[in-house]
């Protein structure tokens, strides 16, 4: 699939154009310049051709922003990675020294290049756009990314440069989605960078560097899936700026749209209240869950350090304790492959289907030996059970008096299911119904 990189200085409307192209509110849009810090991927389609779009951080020179050097590096990486470059400029500001700097870089790039003069929403501004011939990059397209005018002509020209799609390619939509979630500064971006072996995300010791949730396709060691790095989820009281509020919402949405939530926690801080909330958010959404205890290399260890740490986490997340917990270090790459292997296993467990005849054979015998307690002198008999045809593991048990079956017995049935079938890391739903 061809990749189109949207580049330009901050606040020219790159993220607004990106959102329009991918038809989702993926990138955070704010009047604060420099909001997009990492490269941000999305998928788009025009005239029957699919392509990926990268929204980059604005190209900055000489600012006081600590991220300036990193943003410049990200833009350069996006240009290297892309097949087509889309250079966005702002008709209101005209050509700025920063635009001239970006143009200087782009003149050395031997790839199809398109200039989009943004914020052209009337005839007067259309005339003002002529100035951009002075960049020496050839023809330009006038657009308004807010209302969409001109984007059709621009896309017509862009897709002409895209070769016909290969039918054999695996569609990204069919790939499992693993969302890397956790509190700010737990090491989520470091974990992804260590996995894919390149600085895909900006990493600094400032919490909250990753503001958008970012997709990365992973294809190594026989595994293929989409990794989603999310902004750290903070407590509401800590979410002061609007920007961070949107980041939290984006992370929540990433959990809602993933298959497996990979919860990264900071070993030096332990399993805190916010980690617990993220865990229950994933459980409530019936997602597969893997807990990664990062920065394990920084912990002083004794004989039972790991066992005690794990026991404390399981005590906190009870009664749903059938969750894999892996101790890793993104810095030293300790157990990274094990983490990915486990996430794939959890994804497979979530899809597990049990044959009705085998399920009845196993579970009815167990429940006959240990039936639900009698209530008001009435005996409860469970006659039949089946797995429901749903995306996540859900089971229906048919009884004569389902209304008298209490939660402790439901937990007992769930534990028996987990004991006989591998649902490690996956929430199970159990229903008792009238036979």
Q: Which long-range contacts (C-beta less than 8 Å, at least 24 apart) are formed by 217-226?
A: 217/172, 217/175, 218/340, 221/337, 221/340, 223/340, 223/341, 223/344, 224/170, 224/175, 225/175, 225/176, 225/177, 225/178, 225/343, 225/344, 225/347, 226/172, 226/175, 226/176, 226/177, 226/178
DSSP class per residue in 296-320: GGGS---TTHHHHHHHHHHHHHTT-
The reply, when asked if residue 119 is annotated as ligand binding, is yes
Per-residue confidence in pLDDT tens, the chain, 435 aa = 678 888 888 888 888 888 888 775 544 444 443 444 444 666 788 888 878 787 776 555 555 555 456 556 666 766 776 889 999 999 988 998 888 888 888 888 888 999 999 998 888 888 888 999 998 888 899 999 888 889 999 999 999 998 775 554 444 457 888 999 888 788 888 888 888 776 544 444 444 444 444 567 778 767 888 888 775 454 545 444 444 444 455 566 678 778 999 999 999 999 988 788 889 888 988 999 999 999 999 999 888 999 999 999 999 999 999 999 999 999 999 999 999 999 999 999 999 999 999 999 999 999 999 999 988 888 999 999 999 999 899 999 999 999 999 999 999 999 999 999 999 999 999 999 987
How far out from the chain centre does Cα 280 lie?
A: 17
| 410 in a known ligand binding site | no
Distance from C-alpha of 342 to C-alpha of 88, rounded to nearest angstrom: 42
Return d(Cα 395, Cα 389) in angstroms, integer: 9
187 annotated as a binding-site residue: yes
Residue 121 marked as a ligand binder: yes
Q: How far apart are CA 85 and CA 71, in angstroms?
A: 17
Q: Binding site annotation covers 58?
A: yes
159 marked among binding-site residues: no
Q: Report whether 205 belongs to an annotated binding site.
A: no
Is 338 marked as binding a ligand?
no
Structure tokens at 44: 């788009």
Give the pLDDT of residue 244: 40
Residue 231, marked binder: yes
Q: 122 labelled as ligand-binding?
A: no
Residue 237 assigned as binding residue: no
185 is in an annotated binding site: yes
Question: How many CA within 13 A on the CB side of residue 260?
Answer: 31
Q: Binding site annotation covers 9?
A: yes
Is 8 annotated as belonging to a binding site? yes
Measured CA to CA, the distance from residue 248 to residue 232 in angstroms comes to 7
Q: Is 39 annotated as a binding residue?
A: no
Task: Answer yes or no: is 288 a known binding residue.
Answer: no
Report the pLDDT value the prediction gives residue 280, as an integer from 0 to 100. 86
Q: Is 296 marked as binding a ligand?
A: yes
Q: Which residues contact 49 (CB under 8 A, 6 or more apart)?
A: 2, 159, 162, 164, 165
Whole-Å CA distances, 338 to 203, 226, 335, 345, 402: 23, 17, 5, 10, 42
Q: Could you tell me which of 49, 44, 101 has the C-alpha nearest to residue 75?
A: 101
Q: Is 120 annotated as belonging to a binding site?
A: yes
Give the whole-angstrom CA distance, residue 180 versus residue 232: 9
Nearest to 162 by CA among 86, 83, 217: 83
Contact between 414 and 421 under an 8 Å Cβ cutoff? The reply is: no
Answer yes or no: is 357 a known binding residue.
no
- Which of 15, 75, 4 is CA-nearest to residue 211? 15
Which structural domains are found in the chain, ordered by start? 2-161 (3.40.50.300), 177-351 (3.40.50.300), 356-434 (3.30.300.20)
Do residues 320 and 286 lie in contact, with contact meaning Cβ atoms separated by under 8 Å? no
Bridge partners (DSSP) of residue 141 are 116
Q: Has 94 been labeled as part of a binding site?
A: no
Pairing of strands 288-294, 325-327: parallel
Check whether 183 is labelled as a binding-site residue: yes
Say whether 230 counts as a known binding-site residue: yes
Confirm or deny that 49 is annotated as ligand binding: no
419 Cβ contact list (under 8 Å, min separation 6):
none
What six digits make up the tokens of 334? Answer: 């300790």
Is 30 annotated to bind a ligand? Reply is no
Q: Which residues pair with 44 in a beta bridge?
A: 51
184 is in an annotated binding site: yes
Neighbours of 404 (CB within 10 A): 17
pLDDT given for residue 231 in this prediction? 54
Backbone angles phi, psi at 322, to 5 degrees: -80, 65
Q: Rounded distance, CA 411 to CA 417, Å?
A: 10
Say whether 15 counts as a known binding-site residue: yes
pLDDT of residue 109: 83
193 is in an annotated binding site: no
Residue 1, pLDDT score: 62
Tokens at 322, concatenated: 């059938």
56 labelled binding-site residue:
yes
Beta-carbon count within 10 A of 89 CB? 28
- Residue 307 pLDDT: 94
Question: Annotated binding residue at 294?
Answer: yes
CA distance 275 to 184: 10
295 annotated ligand-binding residue: yes
Instruction: Please indicate if the annotation marks 280 as binding a ligand.
Output: no
């Amino acid at each position: 699939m061809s990749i189109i990189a949207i580049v330009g200085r901050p606040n020219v409307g790159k993220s607004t154009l990106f959102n329009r192209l991918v038809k989702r509110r993926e990138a955070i849009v704010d009047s604060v310049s420099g909001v997009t810090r990492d490269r941000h991927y999305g998928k788009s389609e025009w005239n029957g051709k699919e392509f990926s779009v990268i929204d980059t951080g604005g190209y900055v020179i000489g600012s006081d922003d600590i991220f300036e050097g990193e943003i410049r590096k990200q833009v350069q990486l996006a240009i290297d990675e892309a097949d087509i470059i889309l250079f966005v400029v702002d008709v209101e500001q005209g050509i700025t020294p920063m635009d001239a700097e970006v143009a200087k870089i782009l003149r050395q790039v031997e790839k199809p290049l398109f200039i989009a003069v943004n914020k052209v929403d009337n005839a007067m501004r259309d005339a003002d756009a002529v100035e951009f011939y002075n960049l020496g990059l050839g023809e330009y397209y006038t657009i308004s990314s807010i209302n969409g005018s001109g984007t059709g002509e621009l896309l017509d020209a862009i897709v002409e440069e895209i070769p016909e799609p290969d039918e054999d390619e695996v569609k990204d939509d069919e790939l499992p989605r693993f969302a890397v979630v956790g509190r700010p500064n737990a090491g989520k971006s470091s974990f992804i960078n260590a996995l894919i072996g390149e600085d895909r995300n900006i990493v600094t010791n400032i919490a909250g560097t990753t503001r958008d949730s970012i997709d990365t396709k992973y294809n190594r060691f026989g595994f293929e899936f989409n990794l989603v790095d999310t902004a750290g989820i903070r407590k509401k009281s800590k979410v002061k700026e609007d920007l961070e509020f949107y980041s939290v919402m984006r992370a929540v949405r990433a959990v809602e749209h993933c298959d497996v939530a990979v919860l990264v926690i900071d070993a030096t801080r332990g399993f805190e209240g916010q980690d617990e909330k993220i865990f229950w958010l994933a459980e409530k959404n019936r997602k597969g869950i893997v807990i990664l205890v990062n920065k394990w290399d920084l912990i002083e260890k004794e004989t039972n350090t790991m066992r005690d740490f794990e026991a404390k986490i399981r005590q906190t997340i009870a009664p749903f304790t059938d969750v894999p917990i892996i101790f890793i270090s993104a810095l030293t790459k300790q157990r990274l492959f094990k983490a990915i292997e486990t996430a794939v296993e959890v994804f497979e467990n979530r899809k597990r289907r049990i044959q009705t005849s085998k399920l009845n054979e196993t579970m009815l015998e167990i429940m006959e030996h240990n039936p639900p307690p009698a209530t008001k002198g009435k005996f409860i008999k469970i006659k039949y059970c089946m797995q429901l045809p749903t995306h996540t593991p859900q089971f229906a048990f048919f009884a004569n008096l389902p209304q008298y079956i209490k939660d402790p017995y439901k937990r007992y049935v769930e534990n028996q299911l987990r004991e006989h079938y591998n649902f490690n890391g996956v929430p199970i739903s159990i229903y008792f119904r009238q036979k």
